[in-house]
């Protein structure tokens, strides 16, 4: 499998990640609170992996 993401930092403590057809804006400033930071982005990715596996295995194990 091949994965490709692009990321760049903007002014005002914001950064963007582009992956496939999605764009994620997050905060990189130490005093910014309205945007998710890198830790929340990482934890969100872990949660997405868990949910994807639950969905995948629910079909195999016939869960609803």
Mean pLDDT across the stretch 4-15? 90
Q: CA-based diameter of the chain, in Å?
A: 49
pLDDT exceeds 90 at position 59: no
Return the closest-CA partner of residue 39 out of 56, 54, 30.
30
pLDDT exceeds 90 at position 62: no
The predicted-structure confidence for 14-58, as pLDDT tens digits, reads as follows 999 999 999 999 999 888 678 899 899 999 999 999 999 998 888
pLDDT band at 9; cut points 50, 70, 90: very high
Which residues face 24 on adjacent strands?
17
């Amino acid at each position: 499998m091949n994965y490709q993401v692009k990321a760049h930092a903007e002014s005002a403590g914001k950064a963007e990640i582009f992956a496939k057809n999605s764009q994620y804006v997050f905060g990189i400033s130490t005093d910014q609170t309205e945007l998710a930071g890198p830790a929340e982005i990482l934890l969100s990715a872990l949660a997405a992996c868990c949910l994807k596996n639950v969905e995948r295995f629910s079909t195999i194990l016939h869960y609803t």
